[in-house]
C-alpha cells in the first residue's frame, strides 16, 4: 500500500500492519467513539488500568487497550493499521514503545511481547466484518433516537452474546417497565458478536418482535477477556457498561453474574429479576413465588447444544418458536453439519488405512465425503514442500484449509496426516470450528510397533541418519491431549479400529444410527396418509 502521509523532511513511510483480533476490536471501538480513548495505551496507562481500574488521570476504565506488534515492527515510527484484507483503517503515530511481560493473566493484555502506544488517526470506514449494516457508531445511534423524538426516554441497555430465551425476555420486559419514572424505557440490545462471523447475532435478532417497543439493535465486537476467572469477568462486565453508556444507555441490565457495581460504572447496573417457570401454572413467575419442586430446571448451554446436535426440538416453555427456529438453522443436527475427522499418529501407525475404512463407512451412510490422505496430499496439494518443521506445518495447514472449505458446505472431510505438533493441530481445529465440527482421532500405535511395520523402510533410513527431522526419531511427536477418540491398534484388526471410530461418530450424532436408517426405510415403504396424499 502506498503511504498517504506527508513524507517531507525524510519521515519514514508508514508500514502496513493488521492487528490481532483483540486489538482490531479495540481499534474499531476507539474509532467509533465507543471508547473515550484517542489511541492505544502507554505502559503507565496500561499498568494503572490493570492494577487500579483507572487511568493515570483518575478516570475509571476497566481493561488495558494495547497494540501487540511483532519484533520486526518494534522500532516503527508510524503504522497504517489495516483490516485482515489489507484495507487501511487508521494511522498510528508511535508515542511510546514498550515491552509487556504479561505477568498478570488477568490483564487481558495478551502474550509477552512488544507494544506500541499512541493516538490513531481515522483513514476510512471499515468494510470488513460480518453484520456491517448493524455496526452503527454511538453517535449514529444517539442521532437516530433524537430524530425519532425519543431523546427524553430512558434507555435500558442489554449487552449479550447469547440467545434471548423466554426467561431473558421476561426479565427485559420487567426491567423496561421498572424505570422509576412512570415511562417504559427504550430497550437497546448491543449484540457482542465476533468480527469475522455473525455468531449468535441472528438468534438474538429473532427475538425482536417479542421485546417492548421501541427496541433497537446494534452490533459491536468487545475484545475477549484473557484468563483470570471472576476478575476477568468483572472487567468484561465493566467494559460492557462503558460501551453501553457511549451508546446513550441510562441503565444497564445484567442478565447474568457478576453484576457490575461501584464508582467505576458510568451508568447504574440493575440485576434482572429472578424468574422460574412454574410447571404447575405453566407460566413464568418470580422464583420466590414458585412452590418447591414446581420450578422447571433450565437446560444449560451444553444441553441446548446437545439437543440441537441430535436434531431434537427445544422445549416451548424454554424458548420462543422464532428463537428455536433460528437456533436450529445456525446449529443444524450433526448429521447435516460440516465435519472434519482428523486422524493423527506416527508414520506406520495405521492411520491412513483406518481413515480409508472410516471414509468408506461415512460414504455408505449417505454423507458427502472428501478423503485427504497424507501421502496423496503431499503429491497433489503440497508438492515442493520439504520435511522441515515449517513446511510440515504448512502441509497440515493446507489440509486444514481444504477440510474447512469442505465443512463450510456441509460435507465431511477425512484427513490422515502425521500432524506431529499440537499448536498446528490447534490451528486446524480453530479453522474448521469456525464453519463446522472437528473430531480428532489419535491413532496411538507405539513407536516400536510402527518401526516393526515400516514397509517403506523410512524408520531404518531415519535411524541411519539418511532422513533428517523424522517424526519419532529425530523430531518429536506431541501426543494429543484433546483427542475426541484414542485408538489403540495393538492386537486389533483394522476392521475393529474402523468400527470403533464409526461407532463414536454415530454416538456423537454425526452419522445416522441403524435405528435412524431403519426408520427412514420404514417411512419410505409406508403409504402416505390421506393428509399427505
**Is 345 annotated for ligand binding?**
yes
For residue 259, give Cα distances in angstroms to 252, 255, 383.
10, 8, 56
Q: Is 113 annotated as a binding residue?
A: no
100 annotated among ligand-binding-site residues: no
Task: Dig out the grid coordinates for 319 from the structure.
Answer: 424458548
Q: Which residues pair with 414 in a beta bridge?
A: 341, 371
Q: Which residues contact 213 (CB under 8 A, 6 or more apart)?
A: none
The sheet carrying 412-416 orders its strands as 369-373, 412-416, 339-344, 437-443, 485-487
Residue 350 annotated in ligand binding:
yes
267, 246 contact by CB (below 8 A): no
Residue 84 to residue 128: CA distance in whole angstroms: 8
Would strands 78-82 and 113-122 be described as parallel, antiparallel, or unpaired? unpaired
**Which of the 8 DSSP states describes residue 248?**
T
CA separation for the pair 238, 260 (Å, rounded): 6
Cα distances (angstroms) measured from residue 399 to each of 90, 348, 415, 430, 433: 35, 20, 7, 13, 14
What are the Cα distances from residue 483, in Å, to 343, 429, 442?
9, 11, 6
User: In this structure, are residues 166 and 319 in contact, taking their beta carbons and an 8 Å threshold?
Assistant: yes
346 among annotated binding-site residues = yes
Q: Is 352 annotated as a binding residue?
A: yes
- Nearest in space to 24 (alpha carbons), one of 138, 161, 120: 120
C-alpha cell at 426: 490447534
Q: Which of 19, 20, 21, 23 is nearest to 37 (CA)?
A: 23
Terminal Cα-to-Cα distance of the chain (whole angstroms):
64
Residue ranges for the binding site?
A: 345-352
Query: Annotated binding residues for ATP, as ranges?
Result: 345-352
Amino acid at each position: 500500500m502506498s503511504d498517504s502521509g506527508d513524507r517531507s523532511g525524510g519521515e519514514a513511510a508508514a508500514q502496513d500492519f493488521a492487528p490481532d483480533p483483540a486489538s482490531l476490536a479495540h481499534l474499531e471501538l476507539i474509532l467509533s467513539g465507543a471508547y473515550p480513548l484517542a489511541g492505544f495505551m502507554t505502559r503507565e496507562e496500561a499498568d494503572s488500568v490493570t492494577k487500579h481500574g483507572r487511568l493515570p488521570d483518575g478516570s475509571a476504565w476497566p481493561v488495558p487497550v494495547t497494540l501487540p506488534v511483532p519484533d520486526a515492527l518494534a522500532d516503527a515510527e508510524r503504522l497504517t493499521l489495516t483490516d485482515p484484507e489489507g484495507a487501511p483503517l487508521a494511522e498510528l503515530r508511535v508515542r511510546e514503545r514498550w515491552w509487556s511481560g504479561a505477568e498478570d493473566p488477568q490483564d487481558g493484555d495478551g502474550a509477552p511481547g512488544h507494544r506500541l502506544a499512541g493516538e490513531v488517526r481515522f483513514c476510512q470506514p471499515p468494510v470488513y466484518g460480518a453484520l456491517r449494516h448493524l455496526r452503527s457508531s454511538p453517535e449514529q445511534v444517539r442521532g437516530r433516537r433524537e430524530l425519532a423524538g425519543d431523546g427524553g426516554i430512558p434507555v435500558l441497555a442489554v449487552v449479550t452474546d447469547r440467545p434471548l430465551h423466554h426467561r431473558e425476555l421476561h426479565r427485559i420486559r420487567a426491567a423496561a417497565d421498572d424505570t422509576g419514572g412512570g415511562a417504559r424505557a427504550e430497550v437497546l440490545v448491543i449484540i457482542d458478536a465476533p468480527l469475522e462471523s455473525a455468531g449468535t447475532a441472528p438468534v438474538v435478532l429473532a427475538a425482536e418482535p417479542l421485546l417492548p417497543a421501541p427496541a433497537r439493535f446494534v452490533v459491536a465486537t468487545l475484545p475477549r477477556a484473557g484468563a483470570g476467572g471472576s476478575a476477568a469477568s468483572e472487567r468484561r462486565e465493566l467494559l460492557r457498561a462503558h460501551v453501553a453508556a457511549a451508546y446513550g444507555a441510562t441503565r444497564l441490565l445484567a442478565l447474568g453474574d457478576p453484576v457490575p457495581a461501584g464508582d467505576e460504572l458510568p451508568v447504574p447496573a440493575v440485576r434482572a429479576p429472578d424468574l422460574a417457570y412454574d410447571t404447575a401454572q405453566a407460566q413464568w413467575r418470580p422464583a420466590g413465588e414458585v412452590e418447591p419442586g414446581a420450578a422447571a430446571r433450565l437446560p444449560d448451554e451444553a444441553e441446548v447444544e446437545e439437543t440441537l446436535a441430535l436434531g431434537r426440538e427445544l422445549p416451548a416453555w424454554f424458548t420462543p418458536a422464532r428463537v428455536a427456529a433460528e437456533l436450529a438453522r445456525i446449529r443444524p443436527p450433526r448429521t447435516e453439519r460440516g465435519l472434519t475427522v482428523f486422524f493423527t499418529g506416527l508414520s506406520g501407525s495405521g492411520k491412513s488405512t483406518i481413515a480409508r475404512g472410516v471414509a468408506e463407512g461415512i460414504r455408505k451412510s449417505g454423507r458427502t465425503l472428501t478423503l485427504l490422505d497424507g501421502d496423496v496430499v503431499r503429491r497433489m496439494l503440497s508438492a515442493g514442500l520439504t520435511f522441515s518443521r515449517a513446511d510440515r506445518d504448512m502441509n497440515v495447514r493446507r489440509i486444514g484449509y481444504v477440510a474447512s472449505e469442505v465443512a463450510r458446505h456441509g460435507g465431511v472431510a477425512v484427513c490422515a496426516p502425521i500432524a506431529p505438533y499440537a499448536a498446528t493441530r490447534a490451528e486446524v481445529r480453530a479453522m474448521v470450528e469456525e464453519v463446522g465440527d472437528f473430531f480428532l482421532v489419535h491413532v496411538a500405535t507405539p513407536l516400536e510397533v510402527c518401526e516393526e511395520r515400516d514397509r517403506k523402510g523410512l524408520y531404518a533410513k531415519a535411524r541411519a541418519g539418511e532422513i533428517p527431522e523424522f517424526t519419532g526419531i529425530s523430531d518429536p511427536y506431541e501426543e494429543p491431549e484433546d483427542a475426541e477418540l484414542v485408538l489403540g491398534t495393538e492386537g486389533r484388526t483394522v476392521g475393529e479400529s474402523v468400527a470403533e471410530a464409526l461407532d463414536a461418530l454415530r454416538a456423537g450424532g454425526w452419522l445416522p444410527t441403524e435405528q435412524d436408517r431403519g426408520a427412514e426405510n420404514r417411512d419410505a415403504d409406508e403409504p402416505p396418509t390421506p393428509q399427505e396424499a
